[in-house]
A and B are shown apart, each in its own frame.
Chain A
């Protein structure tokens, strides 16, 4: 039997505001427990929520980025359930009339095709606190610092057909919110969380199968693994004559499996109703225009621009715009170097490789964009060859200073003086009479390969400093004599 996987994602992005969505308490991560939970966050009697303008602006930016309809009027609702990390007994969320309506994003598939994934809606809501289940004399500890942190919940259509597509979509949303500066995207700290609704159906079937909701996924790698595990599990259940139950399942990364949360059925009866403490949110066009005017360039636009402005291939443009930090780094270096293709190569190969090896983020790179650009200029103006540049880069990485200082100190300046190169060429030819004879008697089409030997010898004799182009030209000329 041929099975088809159907996946929809619910992404919770913590908005990068200074203060909470309905109170003036700080949202900074890592503070002492409950030092950032004020009377509003604690749900003490008599308090009233007041909506944070910063959070609203961020939602407007997101709507614009995915071409979604923005609700000129949206309302907040109470989602009622009882859990100790939810002090009020309800979460303020949006149900009918969310702030962001239907939109879409394009993802790139592995075969190079692109696919459009629908976004059903995105709404503002408050985060809950944290329960610490370590043993406190048989009790549970509650930290409410996170309670009231603004979230944008982004709900997709069930448009994805494989774990890989789901990951590509999640990465795309991750990229957009980071570019917009509305979410730091830190999955480990829980600022960007993915829940996956997964079901399977026979290929060709129109009706969706029963879905399971997967939670507790804190990396893209785990997202892929959790979905793949769940798909196999559901197929096994059906093929052995059983039925998939609609339920929430937790992903266990250590065991690489999903398991039922054994939550009672009633947990999903949230009895939403409009929150009487909050008025409808309405904004006018000037407000929206001002927010949009303040938006940074989006990844897709930047990718297109890099292709045109710097003459990059699509794949390279995509690689250097994958994150805003890398794109900024590339652009700064490319401007100094004056050669986009060369810069893209260095950023995606040497810089990325070195960062990966040392486990560093681009922001922590020992070679900053200015230093890289400064070195690339020296390749462009023929001061050093690409090969020597690798030595210079390594030295910069080790903190030996900028490119010019290293080239000077180590005497790496390329030899472009024709007379000096000619001298080395002559020496090499004189030392290898047999090869010279072979070359001269060889057919034209075989000579190209044989020339490589002489080039190698000359470069070696000049400690890699001879200008390779000139070496080639001189060798061809002299061997033809």
Chain B
């Protein structure tokens, strides 16, 4: 399976990655190679094998439902570029 330049542009945009015009062909080719490897693996018969969701053969530990975190707003907002009235400020989002 091979990816076109336009596929790469779309994926890059969705992931908000800046891929310059002259990198597109190389990235498309690299990603296509990865997909080829996946194709190869797809050829293996996996009947009766449970799809793997995680490389560790363990299940999720659960936490008791209790509040354990204090308010550290000032601390966290110390590194934010802009805040006001306790809110983080971001460039205007227009829906």
Give A residues with C-beta under 8 Å from B.
Answer: 17-19, 23-26, 32-39, 42, 44, 50-56, 73, 75, 80, 82-84, 89, 96-97, 131-133, 136-144, 261-263, 266, 269, 271, 274, 276, 278-282
Expressed in whole angstroms, the Cα–Cα distance for A75 and B54 within the complex equals 9
Among A26, A84, A136, contact of B67 (Cβ-Cβ < 8 Å): A26
Contact A136 B89 (CB under 8 A): yes
Residue of B nearest to A57 (CB): B65
Contact B90 A34 (CB under 8 A): no
26 contacts between A and B (CB under 8 A): A17-B65, A18-B66, A19-B63, A26-B69, A34-B73, A34-B87, A39-B76, A50-B62, A52-B62, A75-B54, A80-B14, A83-B93, A84-B90, A131-B93, A132-B87, A133-B93, A136-B84, A139-B82, A140-B92, A141-B89, A142-B88, A142-B90, A269-B14, A274-B54, A278-B60, A282-B60
Task: Given A138-B92, A282-B59, check contact A54 B65 (CB 8 Å).
Answer: yes
Contacts of B14 in A (CB 8 A): 80, 266, 269, 271
B13-39 residues at the A interface, CB under 8 angstroms: 13-16
Expressed in whole angstroms, the Cα–Cα distance for A82 and B12 within the complex equals 13
Q: Indicate if B40 sits at the interface (CB-CB under 8 A).
A: no
Contacts of A26 in B (CB 8 A): 67, 69
Contact B91 A140 (CB under 8 A): yes
Q: Indicate if B42 sits at the interface (CB-CB under 8 A).
A: no
Shortest distance from the beta carbon of B5 to any chain A beta carbon, whole Å: 17
Expressed in whole angstroms, the Cα–Cα distance for A301 and B22 within the complex equals 67
Among B62, B65, B85, B95, contact of A18 (Cβ-Cβ < 8 Å): B65
Residue of B nearest to A40 (CB): B69
Among A33, A38, A73, A271, contact of B69 (Cβ-Cβ < 8 Å): A38
Expressed in whole angstroms, the Cα–Cα distance for A36 and B60 within the complex equals 25
Residue of A nearest to B89 (CB): A139
Contacts of A271 in B (CB 8 A): 14-15
Shortest distance from the beta carbon of B90 to any chain A beta carbon, whole Å: 4
Shortest distance from the beta carbon of A279 to any chain B beta carbon, whole Å: 4
Expressed in whole angstroms, the Cα–Cα distance for A49 and B11 within the complex equals 26
Q: Indicate if B6 sits at the interface (CB-CB under 8 A).
A: no
Expressed in whole angstroms, the Cα–Cα distance for A141 and B83 within the complex equals 8
Contacts of A276 in B (CB 8 A): 54
Shortest distance from the beta carbon of A142 to any chain B beta carbon, whole Å: 4
**Which of A54, A136, A261, A278 has the most B CB atoms < 10 Å from its CB?**
A136
Expressed in whole angstroms, the Cα–Cα distance for A14 and B56 within the complex equals 31
Expressed in whole angstroms, the Cα–Cα distance for A54 and B66 within the complex equals 9
Residue of A nearest to B88 (CB): A142
Contacts of A140 in B (CB 8 A): 89-93
Shortest distance from the beta carbon of A455 to any chain B beta carbon, whole Å: 62
Residue of A nearest to B90 (CB): A84
Give the 7 A-B residue pairs with the shortest CB-CB distance, closest first: A54-B65, A24-B68, A141-B87, A53-B62, A282-B59, A33-B86, A38-B69
Shortest distance from the beta carbon of B94 to any chain A beta carbon, whole Å: 9
Shortest distance from the beta carbon of A402 to any chain B beta carbon, whole Å: 40
Q: Indicate if B49 sits at the interface (CB-CB under 8 A).
A: no
Contact B87 A136 (CB under 8 A): yes
Residue of B nearest to A16 (CB): B65
Contact B65 A75 (CB under 8 A): no
Q: Indicate if B41 sits at the interface (CB-CB under 8 A).
A: no
Contact A51 B93 (CB under 8 A): no
Expressed in whole angstroms, the Cα–Cα distance for A42 and B83 within the complex equals 15
Contact A24 B61 (CB under 8 A): no
Contacts of B93 in A (CB 8 A): 83-84, 131, 133, 140
Task: Given A140-B93, A278-B60, A280-B54, check contact A32 B65 (CB 8 Å).
Answer: no
Q: Indicate if B58 sits at the interface (CB-CB under 8 A).
A: yes
**Which of A56, A96, A142, A282 has the most B CB atoms < 10 Å from its CB?**
A142
Contact A53 B67 (CB under 8 A): no
Shortest distance from the beta carbon of B17 to any chain A beta carbon, whole Å: 11
Expressed in whole angstroms, the Cα–Cα distance for A44 and B54 within the complex equals 22
Contacts of A143 in B (CB 8 A): 86-87
Task: Given A34-B88, A132-B87, check contact A50 B63 (CB 8 Å).
Answer: yes
Q: Indicate if B47 sits at the interface (CB-CB under 8 A).
A: no
